[in-house]
Amino acid sequence: MSQDIYVFIEHVCGKTLDISYMMLAQAQQLAAASGGEVVAILLGHNVAGLASDLGADTVWYVDHPELEDFIWANSLAVLEALLARQSPRLVLFGDTTIGSGLASGLSARLGLPLVGYCRQVFPNGGHFHYISQICGGKMLVEGALPDSTALIAMIPGAFRIEQGKSDEKHSATPVPLDGLDEILARNAQKYIFKGYTEPAAGDVDITREKILVSVGRGIQSEDNLSLAQDLADALEGAVSGSRPIIDQSWLPTSRLVGKSGKTVKPKVYLALGISGAPEHTEAITGADAIIAVNTDPSAPIFNLAKYGVQLDLLDLLPVLTDRVRAEK
């Protein structure tokens, strides 16, 4: 087994996803402790250029027309073949729809241990320890990883995107894999990629808004949404929401922030009565500042927020809106 730390690079429509840079930043820290290298694993077709800004010592690239669009079974087959001949110390995935699916598939196929919802991995007395967020983010557990190859699915938050980027302009190293054509040809009979479906654009594109007033279950009733809308109007921003709000049709799907909705990067993300479940927070780490308002001081959103206040949002909203209007 080598001491290398592998990172699976996620990309969609020719763009590397932010989570991959965060994983690379974590991998750099771990490789410095293990004495190994950071190896980025890039799968796709005609995307070798994506290697250039990855903060890795080496970028292994598997190119095949069948890898042009993400099909779980294809990526899984390639990773399985790679790990059958290499035994790194750790393989890092984003705990995203793509990454968690691949990590769990590999764990089942190869019998490798997997830590999901992982917030951090760190060296401790010659071993690696992990901190994982369980029960929707309400509890943290710490444990020691085995000294054999392990798989990690990480949620964002501990590292910034820039930390995983490099100015060195890496080139991709092609990795030939025996039998790849046959495996992918077999899969092509079972899986057909039909196209990407973007969430409906709706009236407002929340991915472009500078200020988002985002409401969660803590808003309590549809009638109270007008309080959030008043503040958004005063701040010249838009209202977005967590899954329970959209599931109850209090806001349209186009306003959903999270794993099943949109990833947002506003200057200010005001999280009102949002607990901070991983499926929500993975989509807000690109915000310049997250401000959390929650009655529960142990709500996980406070771990990610730049500013936080333990307060009833229904008391705060009218007062805050008046203050903003007065300032203007």
Ligand X SMILES: Cc1cc2nc3c(=O)[nH]c(=O)nc-3n(C[C@H](O)[C@H](O)[C@H](O)COP(=O)(O)OP(=O)(O)OC[C@H]3O[C@@H](n4cnc5c(N)ncnc54)[C@H](O)[C@@H]3O)c2cc1C
Query: Where does this chain bind ligand X (CB under 6 A)?
Result: 136, 216-218, 242-244, 256-261, 273-275, 277, 279-280, 293-296, 299, 312-314
Label residues 89-128 b or e (16+ Cβ within 10 Å = b).
bbbbbbbbebbbbbbbbbbeeeebebbbbbbbbeeeeeeb
Q: Toward ligand X, which CB reaches closer, 145 or 264?
A: 264
Amino acid at 266: P
Select 30 or 206, whichever has its Cβ closest to ligand X: 206
Other CB atoms within 10 Å distance of the CB of residue 21:
23
| Tokens coding 215 | 């409401």
Residue 272 Cβ vs ligand X, minimum distance, rounded to whole Å: 7
In angstroms, give the least distance from the CB of 22 to ligand X. 18
Residues 6+ apart with CB under 8 A from 14: 47, 50
Task: Please identify the residue of the shown chain whose CB is closest to the bound ligand X.
Answer: 258
- Exposed / middle / buried, residue 213 (Cβ in 10 Å: 0-12, 13-18, 19+): buried
Q: Which is nearer to ligand X, 24 or 268 (CB)?
A: 268
Cβ–Cβ < 8 Å for 214, 241: yes
Residue 19, both tokens: 């989570």
Q: How far is the CB of 216 from ligand X (least distance, A)?
A: 2
Nearest CB to ligand X, comparing residues 41 and 215:
215
Shortest approach of ligand X to residue 282 CB, angstroms? 8
**What single letter denotes the amino acid at residue 209?**
E
CB of 268 to ligand X, least distance (A): 18
Of 3 and 295, which CB lies nearer to ligand X in the complex structure?
295
Minimum distance of ligand X from residue 215's CB (angstroms): 8
Q: Which is nearer to ligand X, 76 or 274 (CB)?
A: 274
Provide the token pair at 189: 């009979």
Of 20, 25, 63, give the one whose Cα is nearest residue 45: 63
